Structure formats: structure tokens, C-alpha cells
């Protein structure tokens, strides 16, 4: 059985660039550390707010 492919661009033209979903794995080491620091600060702020 032959499978047909459906393309969303005109025949003969290159594929449009794929959309890249944001991912923490695509960040540099410093950006990951900053992300983790902000996340930890938010968690501690929520704990502090819940205790007072």
C-alpha cells in the first residue's frame, strides 16, 4: 500500500523552518543555574508566605 504525504508548502520549495519548543535542556549552564535559583527562591517564598 502506498502512503501519500501531505505537505504545507508549494512543490519544489524547501520546507519552512520547524518551530522549536522552549526547553530547559537548550539553555546554557549559567541559564539553567539561574532558572533553578529562581525556582528555589519561589518555593521558599511560598513556604515563608504559608507559615506567616
Tell me the whole-structure pTM to 2 decimals: 0.52
Q: Residue 44's pLDDT is what?
A: 98
Residue 5 has pLDDT above 70, yes or no: no
Q: Got the DSSP string for 10-49?
A: -TTSPPPPPP----GGGS-HHHHHHHHHHHHHHHHHHHHH
- Tally of structural domains, the chain: 1
Q: Give the domain extent around 40.
A: 27-52
| pLDDT tens digits, one per residue of 25-43 | 777 899 889 999 999 999 9
Of 7-16, 22-31, 43-52, least confident by mean pLDDT is 7-16
Residue 31 lies in a domain: yes
Residue 18 lies in a domain: no
Residue 22 lies in a domain: no
Residue 16 lies in a domain: no
Amino acid at each position: 500500500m502506498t502512503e501519500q504525504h501531505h505537505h504545507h508548502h508549494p512543490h519544489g520549495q524547501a520546507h519552512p523552518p520547524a518551530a522549536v519548543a522552549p526547553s530547559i535542556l537548550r539553555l546554557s549552564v549559567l541559564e539553567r543555574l539561574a532558572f533553578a535559583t529562581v525556582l528555589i527562591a519561589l518555593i521558599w517564598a511560598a513556604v515563608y508566605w504559608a507559615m506567616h
